[in-house]
Chain A
Amino acid sequence: MRNFSKNKLSFLIILITIWQILSTFNDPIILPSPLKVSNEIFKLITSIYFLKLIGVTIMRTFLGAVFTLILGLLIGIGMGLNSKLEESLKSILIISQSTPIISWLLLALIWFDNRYIPIIVIIISNTPIIAINIDEGIKNVDNKLLEMAKIYKISSKKVLKEIYFPAIIPYLISSFKIILGLSYKVAVMSEVVAKVSGGIGESINWAWLNIETSVIIAWTVIIVFLTYISEKIIMSLINKKMEKYI
Chain B
Amino acid sequence: MIKIEKVSKKYGELEIFDELSLTIPENEVTVILGPSGVGKTTLLNMISKLDENFTGEIIRNYNKLSYVFQEDRLLKWKTVEANIRFVLNNENKSIKSILELLELYDLRYKKVKELSGGQMQRVSIARAFAYSSEFIIMDEPFKSLDIFLKIKIIRDFIKLMENQKRTILLVTHDIREALLLGDNIYIMSANNKHSFKKIRIEIAKKGRQLDDDEMMKYEKEIYKKLKI
Contacts and interface: CB of A to CB of B under 8 A. Distances in A.
A245 B79 CA distance: 11
Nearest to B63: A153
B87 A163 contact: no
A144 B86 contact: no
The size bracket of the interface on B is: 10 to 19
Contacts of B64: 153
B161 interface: no
A166 B73 contact: no
A244 B77 contact: yes
A151 B50 contact: yes
Contacts of A144: 69, 71, 73
A154 interface: yes
Contact of B77 (A151, A153, A158, A246): A246
Given A144-B69, A151-B67, A245 B87 contact: no
Given A152-B87, A152-B131, A163 B75 contact: yes
A150 interface: yes
A163 B131 CA distance: 19
Contact of A145 (B50, B65, B75): B75
A87 interface: no
Main secondary structure of the interface of A (DSSP, over half): helix
Contacts of A162: 75, 78, 86
A148 B73 contact: yes
Contacts, number: 38
A145 B77 contact: no
B77 A245 contact: yes
A145 B87 contact: no
A170 to B, nearest CB: 11
Interface string B105-149: 000000000000000000000010001000000000000000000
Contacts of B69: 144, 148
A25 B82 CA distance: 69
B48 interface: yes
B68 to A, nearest CB: 10
Interface string A120-156: 0000000000000000000000001101101111110
Interface string B66-97: 11010101010110000000110100000000
Contacts of B50: 147, 150-151
A197 B73 CA distance: 55
B21 to A, nearest CB: 24
Given A152-B67, A246-B77, 7 more contacts: A144-B71, A151-B50, A151-B66, A153-B89, A154-B87, A163-B75, A166-B77
Interface of B: 48, 50, 64-67, 69, 71, 73, 75, 77-78, 86-87, 89, 127, 131
Interface of A: 144-145, 147-148, 150-155, 158, 162-163, 166, 244-246
15 contacts: A144-B69, A144-B73, A148-B67, A151-B48, A152-B66, A152-B86, A152-B127, A152-B131, A153-B64, A153-B89, A154-B87, A154-B89, A244-B77, A245-B77, A246-B77
